[in-house]
Amino acid sequence: MDNLMDVLKERLKEKGFKLTPQRRATLDVIFGNQGKHLNTEEIYGLVKEKCPEIGLATVYRTLQLLEEMELVSKLNLDDGCSRYEFNNHEDDHQHHHLICQSCGNVIEVEIDLLDQLEQEIENVYQFKIKDHKVKFFGICSECS
Ligand SMILES: [Zn+2]
Ligand SMILES: [Zn+2]
Ligand SMILES: [Zn+2]
């Protein structure tokens, strides 16, 4: 956790920003809720518990800033809101998301499984694949 805050501090400093309690709290919330794909309102609610004076606009700007610094990634799960998750740089290929069309539950698929497809695309199109966003829509085990 301290390491993460050091990285954040360093990146903010490079860009001429300060590590304010609001920025710290926002990253804390996203880091502490990995796998939950919180939307802006949910993040706002949790950050507010630590920084009661914070406004939605500040959380909005902070999320944009953290995204620019590649500490969080923004997800569009086609449910009408922006969701955020902690950007784990250890996997440079994004995990896949399974989205239940009945309850809206989002499940992460940690295994890439696309190696063969990626290889084939790279060969056929002479295109170097660096990342992908894969969403599967269906019905989760609790709803079926
Ligand atoms: Zn991949
Ligand atoms: Zn479901
Ligand atoms: Zn995810």
**Residues 16 and 70 grouped into a single domain:** yes
Question: What is residue 125's predicted lDDT score, i.e. its pLDDT?
Answer: 97
Q: How far is the CA of 104 from the centre of ligand 2 (A)?
A: 6
Q: Using a CB cutoff of 5 Å, list residues around ligand 1, an ion.
A: 93, 112, 114
Residue 106 bridge partners (DSSP): 99
Question: What is residue 57's predicted lDDT score, i.e. its pLDDT?
Answer: 96
- Asked if 75 contacts 86 with a C-beta cutoff of 8 angstroms, the reply is no
Read off the pTM: 0.81
Domain with 103 in it: what CATH number?
3.30.1490.190
Q: What single-letter amino acid sits at 38?
A: L
Ligand nearest to the CA of 109: 3
Which residues of the chain fall short of a pLDDT of 50?
none
Q: How far is the CA of 104 from the centre of ligand 1 (A)?
A: 25
Question: What is residue 44's predicted lDDT score, i.e. its pLDDT?
Answer: 97
Q: How far is the CA of 106 from the centre of ligand 2 (A)?
A: 8
- Asked if 140 contacts 100 with a C-beta cutoff of 8 angstroms, the reply is yes
Residue 144 falls within a domain, yes or no?
no
Question: What is residue 2's predicted lDDT score, i.e. its pLDDT?
Answer: 64
Question: What is residue 81's predicted lDDT score, i.e. its pLDDT?
Answer: 87
Residue 143 falls within a domain, yes or no?
no
Question: What is residue 70's predicted lDDT score, i.e. its pLDDT?
Answer: 86
**Residues 30 and 76 grouped into a single domain:** yes
| Total tally of structural domains belonging to the chain | 2
Residue 91 falls within a domain, yes or no?
no
Which residue range(s) make up the domain with 104?
96-138
Distance CA 73, CA 142 (A): 28
Q: Is 48 helix (H, G, I), strand (E, B) or coil?
A: helix
- Asked if 90 contacts 127 with a C-beta cutoff of 8 angstroms, the reply is no
